[in-house]
Structure 1
Amino acid sequence: MTDAAFRFDNSFAATMPGFYVAQAPARAPAPRLLRLNETLARDLGLDPATLTAEMFSGNALPVGAQPIAQVYAGHQFGGFSPQLGDGRALLLGEVIDRHGQRRDIALKGSGRTPFSRGGDGKAAVGPVLREYLIGEAMQALGVPTTRALAAVATGAPVLRQVELPGAVLTRVAASHIRVGTFQFFAARGETDKLRQLADYTMARHYPDLTAADYLSFFNAVAARQAALIAQWMALGFVHGVMNTDNMALSGETIDYGPCAFMEAYDPDTVFSSIDQTGRYSWGNQPFILIWNLTRLAEALLPLLGADEQSAVARATEALEAVPPLYRAHWLGLMRGKLGLAGADATDQRLADDLLALMQAQGADWTGTFRALARGHLALTGAAAEAWKTRWQARQAPDAAARMQAANPAYIPRNHLVEQALAAAEAGDMAPFEALLAVITDPFTDRLGLEGYAQPAPESFGRYRTFCGT
């Protein structure tokens, strides 16, 4: 153990026995710090000078750390697994940040746990740095997200399709409680533990709710998730693996595996190599939002009513409120992206017609909206000109400023992400650092960075990502 003044306050480990198993991280033979998020470290009340590769590899844990692997279940691509759990992650503990918020500090890629299911529990440099990069991009874009505190090369290879350099990510989250955590105890009929989990989650993430008001708890979770998925959609972000074990009750985006930002607009866009049916395509994400929340409602049924019939009725009513809530968030974001004045009944049609034009012309999602923020419609033809006339009639006086703030100039472009990760795997972090500097200031146009705003060249081909396990 080493003292880096983390000031751990480990409420989950202290009050939730039976929801985890204690597990020490595997030892890394030659840990080397690839990237330390000094800004985040300071926000957590840490001194970056005290933070080391040994610590973030798991070799020398900070004083007060209590490494545990959390248990959960989950629907993965629609199929239910009654026991999943942290197969390659360990929650070291919790800290209270400078804003008074409780934050989890966890290692990802730190070796086998009782939930590894035959896996090695390790991670490779590429997926670790992808999560670091995309998480920081989402933070800069204003999307609730887990973040990376550090990325460390372990000095040991991991075997996937090929041998890759190993790494460990230190992830910071509001918590790691998932829909799948509730599903685990619901599937086992452990209503007392289900209630204990709900009470803990409410106290931690929804402290303004009345104790034991589990319907309001569900509604609050649904509201955060509806807002979150609307943000994803507005940015062209495709999560890629919206399993119920990857939906956090805090309302943060979690697990940046086979994710990417859409370029040419197509609702059927899929990036995950294992998503053969398009279940988690860009256009399906709002439907999966409802599907996942339905699974949460099912898990909470024992807490929602005195009998099953009344519980189902209350859950059904709550679920029926989610689609209009999501649509309201989505339309509000589109009004911002288009710089519209107030609200008008024609706004949904205006947005839909733009998307139809973009799809027909294969227009770049981010580039099209950023061009609009500059007053330029990057679409051609009579239909596009007619749309532009309608749009201009609805613009607010401050439309340009609003649109500049809503539509990023820079996102983690897929080909640049791959170039940065390939270079990092070969030992060169310069492309990663350059890309990180660009995407963490996404709304400011800067001379000389035009290449970072361009979509992938045709030679890049069809983009596919992998989960990293």
Structure 2
Amino acid sequence: MQTSAPEWIPGFDNSFVRELPGDPEADNFRRQVLGACYSRVEPTPVSGPELLGWSREVAALLGLPEDLQEDPQEDPQAEATREELAAVLSGSRLWAGMEPYAACYGGHQFGNWADQLGDGRAITLGEILRSNDGEDTRWELQLKGAGPTPYSRRGDGRAVLRSSIREFLCSEAMHHLGVPTTRALSLVRTGDEVRRDMFYDGNAELEPGAVVCRVAPSFVRFGNFELFAARKDHETLRRLADYVIAEHFPELDAGDYAAWFGIVAERTAEMICHWMRVGFVHGVMNTDNMSVLGLTIDYGPYGWLEDYDPNWTPNTTDAHGRRYRFGNQPRIAAWNLTRFGAALLPLVDEAESIQAGLEAYAERLSAGVLSTYADKLGLRSIDADEGSDQPGSGPWLANTCMDVLRGANTKVETDMTIFHRQLAEVPMDPEASDEAVLAPLRPAYYGEYDRRELPPKLRELTLRWLRGLQARVRSEGLDPNQRRAIMDGANPKYVLRNYLAQEAIDLAEAGDPSRIHELLELLRRPYTDQPGKEHFAGKRPEWARHRPGCSMLSCSS
């Protein structure tokens, strides 16, 4: 299955399999794997690989061809390149130097220990070591949906086109939004069908299959360490921690596990702040979906807030308890870090060092939230000591903003993305009429309230908040153009709204991948006004309110 790599493929340097213990069993069958960080396994070839999506930015990171013609029939070399990439990135062919494997890990799922999980439908092809600006960066290439592994349990190791489109687009959209994330290089349709029961209700159907190539410096997660700690395999636990620190945290001294945990905690806080800033809901924040690099990983039943509802979760599996709802994400990240810290206790001298890391998370999160709100509201800064109950103070403005978005206990629904983007249009002149101050926000309201008067309670609160914001802005004396730039840099105009992804899925399943390309291009510049693309910034249409894929999703691929 392995062939020589084309000359434009960099060499592979596979440190994970070189430095860490592997599973001695060579056959690919479901089993418990002990004392090993991975199992070697090759992807399963597909019948008709077709390249549907390509990220030129990620290709540049890897030294791969950046611009691939979408219709290369007139250029035999371009066509051969696409065919070669489709074959390898679907798992149908390997290049020399690749050493594919599936990682072994466990995790807490929905708050309960699940024991061994592992890469059930993800297979790492290998690692590319690239030098950028004099610094070496390691990039792991991982195929999602490339066939069964020893960790597939009852699954087939495959992924369907709809979930693969969502992961491909969202990985790149999040990067361009400035959110720490894994990346996506490619989207390949396999030519094969996969049977899935989307909502686990007995209505399984055949769907087109696909494979996404995910890219990150590492996909190691909290659950990798939890499994070895649960098994009291402290030797493998230590070896894995030493490897991660040496390879991905070279600024730390070997064996400084407490300092490492503190850095992971702070990076996690930074990631969560960005999620909350752009209205992203991960949907399945299990500890096996938490990166030790502070990256967003495993895009499954995620969603974007349309009307602002802190209790919303896109995950049908989580519909009852809403553990992973938007407003609960900061608390769940802390809970997950506590589980990760507990797994590291055999390696640290004192439990207090783990507690210090958890406190670092809380401090970074608090500071990050205030900094985020300062940018979103166009303020110089917000100080936690100002007093949250003092009208016009930074904390009061941030807290009251959330009350306004929630509709002040009325039935008014407010689009979070549009509201914050339009906030830059609100006049800061204290002499402006009430209607002039409210008018820029009307496009953010759903239903009839984009035209008619707001309910008295919400109107009064919104005006009081906006007048308080005006006073604060005047007191700070920030240049209006500078303020506008800060706000537009924190409040995206374009996000991957659920219905936009679903429209791309519908077209692609009918044989038209053009919307994938159009959205990928749009989301490269989410903070920039793009003439002719305004319809992509609009509110969720009514048809998408309760449609599967737009309102609710499941963990099923």
TM range (shorter): over 0.9
List per-residue Cα deviations over 1:232-291 (Å, max 9, x = no partner): 011110000100000011111101110011011111011011112100000010000100
Could you say what secondary structure the match of 1:52 adopts?
A: helix
Q: Find the counterpart in structure 1 of residue 33 from structure 2.
A: none
Amino acid of the residue matched to residue 334 of structure 2?
I
Q: Find the counterpart in structure 2 of residue 368 from structure 1.
A: 419
- Counterparts of 1:407-426 in structure 2, within 5 Å, are 407-426=491-510
The CA deviation at 1:431 is 1.9
Q: Aligned equivalents of 1:408 and 1:135: distance in 2?
A: 16
Q: Find the counterpart in structure 2 of residue 443 from structure 1.
A: 527
Q: Aligned equivalents of 1:39 and 1:315: distance in 2?
A: 37
Q: Aligned equivalents of 2:310 and 2:541: distance in 1?
A: 20
The CA deviation at 1:98 is 4.5
Instruction: Give the one of 309, 329, 332 matched to 1:266.
Output: 309
Contact 1:272 1:466 in 2 (8 A): yes
Q: Find the counterpart in structure 2 of residue 387 from structure 1.
A: 465
Instruction: Give the one of 101, 110, 124 matched to 1:68.
Output: 101
Amino acid of the residue matched to residue 27 of structure 1?
P
Q: Find the counterpart in structure 1 of residue 195 from structure 2.
A: 159
Contact 2:49 2:189 in 1 (8 A): yes
TM-score between both structures, scaled by the size of structure 2? 0.81
Instruction: Give the one of 29, 37, 40 matched to 2:55.
Output: 37
List per-residue Cα deviations over 1:416-440 (Å, max 9, x = no partner): 1111111111211112222222122
Could you say what secondary structure the match of 1:321 adopts?
A: helix
Q: Find the counterpart in structure 1 of residue 149 from structure 2.
A: 113
Amino acid of the residue matched to residue 526 of structure 2?
P
Is residue 247 from structure 1 mapped to residue 290 from structure 2 by the alignment?
A: yes
The CA deviation at 1:442 is 0.6
Moved more, 414-423 or 278-287: 414-423
* Root mean square deviation of aligned Cα: 1.5
Amino acid of the residue matched to residue 104 of structure 2?
V
Q: Find the counterpart in structure 2 of residue 54 from structure 1.
A: 87
Instruction: Give the one of 16, 33, 52 matched to 1:12.
Output: 16
Could you say what secondary structure the match of 2:366 adopts?
A: helix
Could you say what secondary structure the match of 2:116 adopts?
A: coil
Instruction: Give the one of 399, 403, 410 matched to 2:483.
Output: 399
Moved more, 222-231 or 458-467: 458-467
- Counterparts of 1:162-201 in structure 2, within 5 Å, are 162-201=205-244
Q: Find the counterpart in structure 2 of residue 295 from structure 1.
A: 339
Q: Find the counterpart in structure 2 of residue 338 from structure 1.
A: 377
Is residue 132 from structure 1 mapped to residue 150 from structure 2 by the alignment?
A: no
TM-score between both structures, scaled by the size of structure 1? 0.96
Instruction: Give the one of 220, 226, 237 matched to 2:263.
Output: 220
Unaligned runs of 5+ in 1: 306-310
Could you say what secondary structure the match of 2:108 adopts?
A: strand
Amino acid of the residue matched to residue 144 of structure 1?
P
Contact 2:53 2:516 in 1 (8 A): no
Amino acid of the residue matched to residue 50 of structure 2?
R
Amino acid of the residue matched to residue 199 of structure 1?
D
Q: Find the counterpart in structure 2 of residue 308 from structure 1.
A: none
Q: Find the counterpart in structure 2 of residue 22 from structure 1.
A: 40
List per-residue Cα deviations over 1:112-157 (Å, max 9, x = no partner): 1110001100011111111010111101101111111111111110
Instruction: Give the one of 277, 280, 283 matched to 1:237.
Output: 280
Amino acid of the residue matched to residue 45 of structure 1?
G
Larger Rg: 2
Q: Aligned equivalents of 1:280 and 1:131: distance in 2?
A: 19
Contact 2:222 2:291 in 1 (8 A): yes
Could you say what secondary structure the match of 1:209 adopts?
A: coil
List per-residue Cα deviations over 1:322-352 (Å, max 9, x = no partner): 2232111111111111110233422122111
The CA deviation at 1:413 is 1.4
Q: Aligned equivalents of 1:187 and 1:393: distance in 2?
A: 55
List per-residue Cα deviations over 1:309-333 (Å, max 9, x = no partner): xx33332333233223211111111
The CA deviation at 1:455 is 1.7
Amino acid of the residue matched to residue 443 of structure 1?
Y
Identity of aligned residues (%): 43
Q: Aligned equivalents of 1:318 and 1:124: distance in 2?
A: 39
Q: Find the counterpart in structure 1 of residue 30 from structure 2.
A: none
List per-residue Cα deviations over 1:192-235 (Å, max 9, x = no partner): 11111111111222211121111101000000000000100111
Instruction: Give the one of 127, 133, 158 matched to 1:94.
Output: 127
Amino acid of the residue matched to residue 300 of structure 2?
G
Q: Aligned equivalents of 1:270 and 1:451: distance in 2?
A: 25
List per-residue Cα deviations over 1:396-415 (Å, max 9, x = no partner): 32211110111111001111
Contact 1:242 1:288 in 2 (8 A): yes
Q: Aligned equivalents of 1:431 and 1:460: distance in 2?
A: 17
Q: Find the counterpart in structure 1 of residue 323 from structure 2.
A: 279
Q: Aligned equivalents of 1:292 and 1:23: distance in 2?
A: 29
Contact 1:146 1:253 in 2 (8 A): yes
Is residue 314 from structure 1 mapped to residue 353 from structure 2 by the alignment?
A: yes
Q: Aligned equivalents of 2:141 and 2:519: distance in 1?
A: 25
Unaligned runs of 5+ in 2: 22-35, 67-77, 197-203, 387-392, 427-439, 446-453
Aligned residues: 464
Contact 1:377 1:388 in 2 (8 A): no
Instruction: Give the one of 352, 357, 366 matched to 2:399.
Output: 352
